[in-house]
Structure 1
Amino acid sequence: MKAVQFTRFGPPDVLEVVELPVPEPGPGEVLVRVRAAGVNFFEVLMRADRYAATPDLPMFPGVEVAGIIERAGPGADRSHIGMRVAVPLFAIGRGSGGYAEFVAVDGGAVVQLPDAISFAAAAGLMVQGLTASHLLRRSPAKGKNVLVNAAAGGVGSLLVQLARRDGAKMVIAAASSDEKMGAFPVSRRRSCGRLYGAWLAGGGQKADRGLDADIIHKTVGDAFSRAALDALAPCGELVLAAMGRFGLEAADVEHMLGDNQSIKGFSLLPLLTPQGVQEDLAALFELAAAGALTVIDGGRFPLHQAAEAHRAIEGRRAVGKVVLVP
């Protein structure tokens, strides 16, 4: 089978396609033919050795795939052969191997996909869908003004939609350009000047520096400055779901303390349980199948163009979810 690896750190060109044996499903395992593999920003950082942890080499990236069960190992349910499934590798201790034509995994770790959901959409609802769901669980949006930066990205676009379903008073979808917001399903768009460029995703008032957002979600690792905090209300929360340059000085933090504002960290993996992952993904798939949740297609690339997929993300050209389609 074909798989993507890198044997040294560097630019996207270090990604290469290699031939490997098709994995043999062991006891209780199933062999899944991959139809879509999610590409994530943290994998871009890993490839460049800019992630929090340096991976061992060679590295076979990819932590989320969707596909069809082709074979069942000893003790696995053979009636599941032919089933469309999602495989959240990251949630079962597998931090690699998704950029490939096949994966072998524990049969109890897969989640069945409704026929109405594409494999690409399923890939967009694993890391990013679970992240958005848990962000709202830890900081409920009901009755609050919520500002989501990087709203045209995978996590941000889902977070905006789920926050509205959660009963937010108003959701502001913020992005860096009109071009990025053009693909985003919002009911109204208005420019908001130089703070982010923000667009209404519900509610009737214009988003501006006097917004008074009760919650601001930071979902990408770029710099976050004092100017961005001008929109945060007294007693508001700044939720950091991505590592990066913080950009705040001591005086800024003192100002936050004086306004009873808080900074809340977020990390997905410690919040996950096997049962919770199954239930949460099933709920997300049900919403998507019913048309109540949209995964923005950020581009589909064959395995041999994995480097181009990384360039699209690294160069901030992608809007929504980028996937590889073996």
Structure 2
Amino acid sequence: MKAARCTEYGPPSGLSVVELDDPEPGPGEVLVRVHAAAVNFPDVLIAANQYQVSAPLPFTPGSEFAGVIAALGPGVTGPPVGSAVAGAVLAGAFAEQVVVPVTALREIPDGLDMIHAAAFHVTYATAYHALVTIGQGSAGEWVAVLGAAGGVGTATVDVATRLGMRVIAAASSPDRLVVAQKLGAEGGIDYVREDLKTRIRELTGGEGVHLIIDPVGGDYSEAALRAVRRGGRFVTVGYADGKIPRIPLNLVLLKEAIVRGFEIRMLRQYVPEVVAAGDRALAQLVREGMRPLVSDVHALDDVAAALTAVAERRTTGKVVLDMRAG
């Protein structure tokens, strides 16, 4: 089979596409023939060994995929061979086949093709649980979404507006704000050229937002926190800026704010029933017409270029590798 391979930690340009032996599933595992795999910012960090968890060399990057079950390992009774599934792993998805624990698989919501299924679960589950499970967001509340044109950002804008929240999108250029506004954001802030705190307050009539979802980090985190209203919530979900912020705790004290971290893998591990409930809620939104924004589709041979574009934040929505292309 063909697979992307990381033999040395570093930038995406160091990846190569090689031929590997077909894998075989072990006990509790399933072999999936991958049709599509999404490119996420954590994949860039894992290849550079800058993620919270290391993948030992050599390895195949890629964490999110959709495909068809090709074989079941010993002790696995289902889903049956031929079932269409989506899944998430730390690494291994940028290949024509992947072996994963059966527990890593999810049903594909009705209405999603393989490209959109690969782009759906990680970012939309992150968005839903950051907004609802962790952020306790509700209809009518103001929500500020940083990095609103990226993969997690577009999913968060999409889910929040469909749940009746009032969204302020913050992004790095006017063109990227247009993407978020098409998904339902009421207001937009170009935080490279505008003062984030001031504009959030202006757009909310001076009171500030109830909830902030931040997948960006860097200097924007503190500025956003300064615009949260008294008793508001701030959820940190990632650091696409490349710099982990240091928040002055006196801001949290003075605003009586709640600051929480969120990582989807931990939620799956410790409260799987909550993740299952979120999956059902997202499936209903898909039935109502929700679809992930996929801006670019590449062949596996273009994996380095696709990862580079995500690393340099030149993309909007999700980038997907089509294993059947090329």
Letter in 1 for 2:158: Q
- 5 Å matches for 1:1-326? 1-27=1-27, 29-73=29-73, 76-77=76-77, 80-89=80-89, 95-107=90-102, 109-114=104-109, 116-135=111-130, 136-142=132-138, 143-168=140-165, 170-184=166-180, 185-187=182-184, 192=189, 194-196=194-196, 207=203, 210=206, 212-224=208-220, 226-243=222-239, 245-247=243-245, 250=248, 253-273=249-269, 274-291=272-289, 293-326=290-323
- How far off is 1:106 after superposition? 4.2
Identical counterparts, % of pairs:
36
2:219 is paired with a residue whose SS is coil
Cα distance per residue 1:281-312 (max 9 Å; x no partner) = 35423422430x23110311111111101111
Contact 2:231 2:257 in 1 (8 A): yes
- Structure 1 gap segments, 5+ residues each: 90-94
After TM superposition, the score normalised by the length of structure 1 is 0.83
RMSD of equivalent CA atoms: 3.0
Q: Write the distance in 2 (CA, Å) between the matches of 1:112 and 1:280.
A: 13
Contact 2:218 2:245 in 1 (8 A): no
- How far off is 1:186 after superposition? 3.3
Contact 1:125 1:285 in 2 (8 A): no
Q: Write the distance in 1 (CA, Å) between the matches of 2:5 and 2:38.
A: 15
Q: How many residues align?
A: 313
Q: Write the distance in 1 (CA, Å) between the matches of 2:92 and 2:55.
A: 13
After TM superposition, the score normalised by the length of structure 2 is 0.83
Letter in 2 for 1:300: V
Cα distance per residue 1:79-107 (max 9 Å; x no partner) = 83332211223xxxxx2211100123344
Q: Name which of structure 1's ranges 2-11 and 45-54 shifts more when overlaid on structure 2.
A: 45-54
Q: Write the distance in 2 (CA, Å) between the matches of 1:297 and 1:264.
A: 29
Q: Write the distance in 2 (CA, Å) between the matches of 1:198 and 1:321.
A: 30
Q: Name which of structure 1's ranges 269-278 and 12-21 shifts more when overlaid on structure 2.
A: 269-278
Contact 2:142 2:209 in 1 (8 A): yes
Contact 2:120 2:292 in 1 (8 A): yes
Letter in 2 for 1:83: S
- How far off is 1:209 after superposition? 8.6
- How far off is 1:151 after superposition? 1.2
